[in-house]
Amino acid sequence: MKPYWLAFGLSLYSVAAVGQPVTLVELEGAVVETTVTMAQQIRREGREFPVQLHQQQKITFFSDSKIEWTSTPTSHTPRGIRQGPTRTGRMTLGQPGETKQLGGGDFIWIFEDGTLTTLRTYTKQGGYKRTIAFAREGGAINCTAKEAFVREEGVGRIVLRSAIDDAPVEVLSAKQVASTCRVTKR
């Protein structure tokens, strides 16, 4: 008699994978590309205005919980479209660090239950959270990306350096309005 999973055309791998989170081992050698668009209202040099910020990111997963990332911001403002510098980094998941980017702060990248989470603080005030949730669909691994600013209780607005030109910026409001996410194997 055939094992029951073969009767349904399933392999042992697919039976084990059903309902289980995507693992870090499964992502080794994968490249994840995301684009997240945030609609923001900012204050800069005493003026308030709307900005749509597109953040393109590419993350490569290596063995031993190491990742490499690149991030390129593009802003759409009443004065036009501007692209900021591409930033890069290489790190080990779960190890906190300090960054000088966007005015400085602390960060950590965590992978847990099939979700990659980036948390960072800004030196002045506030923070940021990005999540990339991975899921199996058919024989492929898919993903969804979300970003949000986080406020410290009782502190007020988010204050950071612009990703486009490093000028001081205060984020008055921000909302994610679109995102794409794609996983490919190298």
58 belongs to a structural domain: yes
pLDDT at 71 over 90: yes
Residue 74 falls inside a structural domain: yes
Query: For residue range 28-60, what is the model confidence (pLDDT) as tens digits?
Result: 999 999 999 999 999 988 899 999 999 999 999
Q: What's the pLDDT tens digit per position in 92-103?
A: 999 988 777 766
Closest CA to 118 of 2, 32, 4, 1: 32
**Domains in the chain, number:** 1
pLDDT per residue over 112-159, tens digit each?
999 999 998 876 677 889 999 999 888 889 999 999 988 777 667 778
113, part of any domain: yes
Q: Does 126 map to a domain?
A: yes
6 is a domain residue: no
> Residue 42 domain-assigned?
yes
Q: Is residue 1 part of a domain?
A: no
The pTM of the full predicted model, rounded to 2 decimals, is 0.82
| 9 pLDDT higher than 80 | no
Query: Does 11 fall in a domain?
Result: no
For 67, the domain range is 21-185
